[in-house]
Structure formats: structure tokens, C-alpha cells
Structure 1
Amino acid sequence: MSAPYYAPHGGHPGQDQLLTDRAIFTEAYAVIPRGTMRDIVTSFLPGWTDTRLWVIARPLSGFAETFSQYIMEVQPGGGSDQPETDPEAQGVLFVVEGTATLEVNGATHQLTPGGYAYLPPSSGWRLHNRGDEALRFHWIRKAYQPAPGIETPEVLILNEKDITPSEMPGTNGTWATTRFVDPSDLRHDMHVTIVTFQPGGVIPFLETHVMEHGLYVLEGKAVYRLNNDWVEVEAGDFMWLRAFCPQACYAGGPGPFRYLLYKDVNRHMPLRPMR
């Protein structure tokens, strides 16, 4: 499958553009539209060369509590020999443009669009752009929560095109999820998947659950129910949903609506503040 993935390229709007946009930040959810991801809001990281990033989620009281998410942009020749400085952080990389050269566990991998990598804590990985075009990828980070008798997961290198989506029962394929990790594998305390709705597909009830969500729209457009509001979203938009925020979706077409989804799973609820 050759799937298009939207990625921001920055730039700066003209002085004639209206200020009104779809950006919204509430206690239950946030919407960061693609039009806000401009040059002026990029960040930089120590240890990375020829690289900038858009931070679209970070642990913050009243906002994302379990994860951070970056959209990385690495120019040809750029990258890092020490990208992750937190020994407790696990990571998921998902490539949307260009080719990443990933070195981990003594092996070198080429991640092309649709490429996915799960990187456990303290895996000592390296990443560079050895190609001729800019590399853009999502980097999702979460502090790993060990559990008694449960081993730490191993490195996973996959690609979306090699995975058959799992159809939701009774939907005739209009709602499906591409799973990179077996949901029953308790070693994993987070899942990053791709959810696909064909035109007319819906989440037919207000989901209300303990998992925190980050949703980055890779393709298409839809109307999303977030708490009490219906919000239009399109490729390049990011949504954050607090735990228990009611949510539903209607994909009106004309093409598929697809998003990269983060959620925390498979662990007891902390009864005291986490580190």
C-alpha cells in the first residue's frame, strides 16, 4: 500500500491572512490545526544537527500527562548520535517523508514512509538523514512503566504497508486499525496505531475511557466529537484528548480519513504522583 502522509513544511503566512482559525485548548481536549505549525513555533534539541521540530504534546498539568510527541524535520546530513537523553524513555518513530537511517542493537535500518520503530528504554539508538531530501517523522516518547514479572519489550522495526488492518466487527471494513503491537502483549504500556475510516465510517457512540489520546491526522478530513463540541479536522491537524473525554467521529469523505493514534495501556492506575 502506498499511503500519503501529511507533514508540515513550515513557512510563514502573509499579513493579509485572517487570524481566525480552528485552534482550541480546553481542559478536556485541544486541537492544534496544521496552519499553526509554522517556522516561528519550531524548536531545537541539543545533540541534533540540521534538525528542527514541532512539539505537539508534552507532559503538562491540565494537558498531556503521559507522553510527548514531536514532528521532527531533519535536513540531509543531519541527525543525532545521542537522540534520547532520558534512560527511562521509550520511543516510537513513524516516518512520513524521506528516509531515516536508524542504528540500534548493532544493526542499521532504513525507515521509509510508513516505517515504524519501537525503541525500548536505554536502547542507545542513533538516527541520521543520509538521503538527499528532508526527513520528517513523528517521535512519541513515554516513560516506561515496569511491571512485576513482565520483561521490557524488544526493538521492533516494521512498516505499515506490511500489516493487514484489523476491521472493527460489524463495520464492513469502514473502520479498521493497523496495529504494530499485539494488544495482548502486556510488555507494552503504550500503543501507537493507525486508525482508518472509509467515507461514511463512524465511531457510533461517545467513547469515554481511561486512555489518554494523541491523534495526528495523516490523511483526509472528518468531523470529530470532542466532549460537547463537534470539530472539523483535516490532514495535518493534531488532537489531544484527556482521559475520559467523550469522543466520536464521522468521516464524510470524499477519501479515507486516517490518523496516527497514541494511547497508554496495560498498567495499574498510579495512586500517587509519577516521577
Structure 2
Amino acid sequence: MGSARTYYAPTGGLPPQTQILTDRAMFTEAYAVIPKGTFSDIVTSFLPFWDKTRLWVIARPLSGFAETFSQYIMEVQAGGGSERAELDEGAEGVIFVVEGQVTITLDGKPHQLTEGGYAYLPAKSGWSLCNKGSSTARFHWVRKAYEYVEGLDKPDPLFLNEKDIMPTEMPGTNGAWATTRFVDPSDMRHDMHCTIVTFEPGGVIPFAETHVMEHGLYVLEGKAVYRLNQDWVEVEAGDFMWLRAFCPQACYAGGPGKFRYLLYKDVNRHMKLSHHSRP
């Protein structure tokens, strides 16, 4: 069993007129950094059939950037939500709750998720979501077009909480680097993973990871310096990083507390050799 966690969640607002413009926001051909200071009221979006809801879009497919997913930070007021949450029948989804609570209804059965709650929602599952609590709920919603493979069943729905999952220590790190996995990595039905990565103060990724998996990293807690391509960038709770496939990455967690982030990556599928649709 894990201990109680703190998850950063944006609340919006606007910076004062006296604030200087200089910020850490970056958008390059290999990576992007969206710092927490950019999550203002004027960059929120709205969705059809979602009541009392606004969101920050922090990742979306972009031509030339090989992006495989979209990621939203949803803000749902008490009594808000949607009976038609996902309009794309081909889209699978992951929900991760960082503040408040939500109820997801799937096949007529309600599932309550509190802070740290995780849901995997298969494509064509027709789920709905409502905030039945008295306070605002905030959660991440990661969406991906599910890649069906003949001979593999579609994954089952999952409703979990990270507090109930023992993190897996990375080999040889003595617990300085660990991953909380919601899905069995050997389950080939899944074509994406959303995990939580935790570094103790002083923990590192001791080499420049360079791999085919695209990444989205939202910092839930703490601070670190992160290597992105050729740059070392300071990041803290509330920042988001997007890394293109093969972008070199490394990390040093400077402390004083844990450095933790929600990580997306695409997995378990052949590389597409054509963009043309196939029967």
C-alpha cells in the first residue's frame, strides 16, 4: 500500500500586468515544455456535451511531429460532466484524477475515482462521467486511437488507484527510481501505457534514453532538471513535457522531496509503413 500523495493541479486565473514576460515555455522540433505558469483562463477550451467543464489541451496530434495521442487536464465543477464523454468510437482513454472525485459509469455500473484514481476505458465503451461531489474535480484524460490487431482481444476496462499498487524499483537503483504500473507490460492487448515514475532526491536516469516511444510527462510533484535533446531544463510540479520519438532524455532529481510524473508512451505495435488506410 502506498502513502498519501500530493498531485499538482492547475486552477487557472491570469497573471498580473506587472509580471515579466520571460518564462520557461519552449517548443522545438524534438520536444516541448509547457510550464505551469501558462495554464491561465485564456488558454482553456470547451467540449461538446460537457457541462460545467473546461479544460487545458496539453498535447494533440500535429503534422510532422509524429504525435500519437492527445492529453487534456479537465476541470469539472460540482454537478458537471458528460453523458456523451467520448465522441470518437475509435478512441481509447485513460483518466487519472489529481483533485476531487468523479464517477465514471460504464455498462450501467458506476465507478468512483478519488485522487490517485486511474481508469482505462476501451474504445467503443460508451462511458459517461459526472462529478457528484461538492468540490471541483480535476483529472488528466489521455486519448489515443486504439490499434486493433487480428488475434488480440480489446483490453478490458480498469478502475484502480495508485495508492493500492506497489511501485516497481528499477534494477540496481536501490529504490531511487521506481515505476507504478497500472497495466501488465506483457499484455499485448494494450498499445499504450500511462504510468507514474518516481525519483527519490538525487535519483537519476543515468544515460540519455533514445527510443521509439513518444512521451508525454506531466510533473505531479517535486522538481528536477530534465535532459531534452541537447538541453537541460528545470521542471517542477505542474509542468508538462512532450518528447518526440527518439528525443534523447535523462533526468536528475534535485530534491528536497520526491520527483514524480505521469508518463504516457505508445507500445506493443509494429511501426506503420504507410499512412494509407487499410481494410
When the two structures are superposed, what TM-score results if normalisation uses the length of structure 2? 0.97
- 1:255 aligned to which of 254, 257, 263: 257
Residues 160 and 217 of structure 1: is their aligned pair in 2 closer, same or farther, counting only changes over 3 Å?
same
**Corresponding residue to 1:154 among 153, 156, 168:** 156
Which residue of 168, 172, 175 corresponds with 1:173? 175
2:26 is the counterpart of 1:56: no
- 1: distance between equivalents of 2:132 and 2:149? 38
CA contact (8 A) 1:27 1:62 kept: no
- Matching of residue 29 in structure 1 with residue 31 in structure 2: yes
Asked if 1:86 corresponds to 2:88, the answer is yes
SS at 2:37 equivalent: helix
Distance 1:171 1:127 in 2: 39
Tell me, in whole angstroms, the C-alpha distance in 2 between the residues paired with 1:61 and 1:209: 20
Return the offset for 1:218. 0.1
Q: In structure 2, what is the equivalent of residue 191 of structure 1?
A: 193
Residue 138 of structure 2 aligns to a residue whose secondary structure is: strand
Are residues 24 and 37 of structure 1, via their aligned partners in 2, closer, same or farther at CA, if it must alter by over 3 Å?
Answer: same
Per the alignment, residue 138 of structure 1 pairs with 140
CA distances 1:128-151 after superposition (whole Å, capped 9, x unpaired): 111110000000000000112111
Contact 1:191 1:265 in 2 (8 A): yes
Q: Quick check: 1:59–1:66 contact (8 Å CA) kept in 2?
A: yes
Cα distance 1:274–1:169, how it changes in 2: closer, same or farther (>3 A)?
A: farther
Aligned equivalents of 2:202 and 2:149: distance in 1? 41
Segments ≥4 residues shifted beyond 2 Å: none
Letter in 2 for 1:183: P
Percent identity, please: 75
Structure 2: where are the runs of 5+ without partners?
none
Of 113, 116, 141, 1:114 maps to: 116
Contact 1:200 1:250 in 2 (8 A): yes
Q: Which amino acid aligns with 1:12?
A: L
**Whole-Å Cα distance in 1 between the matches of residues 273 and 65 of structure 2?**
19
Count how many residue pairs are aligned between Structure 1 and Structure 2: 275
Instruction: Report the alpha carbon displacement of residue 63 of structure 1 after superposing the two structures with TM.
Output: 3.6
Q: Give the CA deviation at 1:210.
A: 0.1
Q: 2:264 is matched by which residue type in structure 1?
A: Y
What is the CA distance between 1:189 and its match in structure 2? Answer: 0.1
- 1:215-263 CA distances to partner (integer Å, 9 max, x unpaired)? 0000000000000000000000000000000000000100000000000
- Alpha-carbon distance in structure 1 between the residues aligned to 2:25 and 2:197: 22
Alignment-derived partner of residue 103 in structure 2: 101
Where does structure 1 lack aligned partners over 5 or more consecutive residues? none
Query: Normalising to structure 1: TM-score of the pair?
Result: 0.99
Is the Cα–Cα contact under 8 Å of residues 57 and 64 in structure 1 kept in the other structure? no
Quote the Cα distance in structure 1 between the aligned partners of 2:14 and 2:242.
24
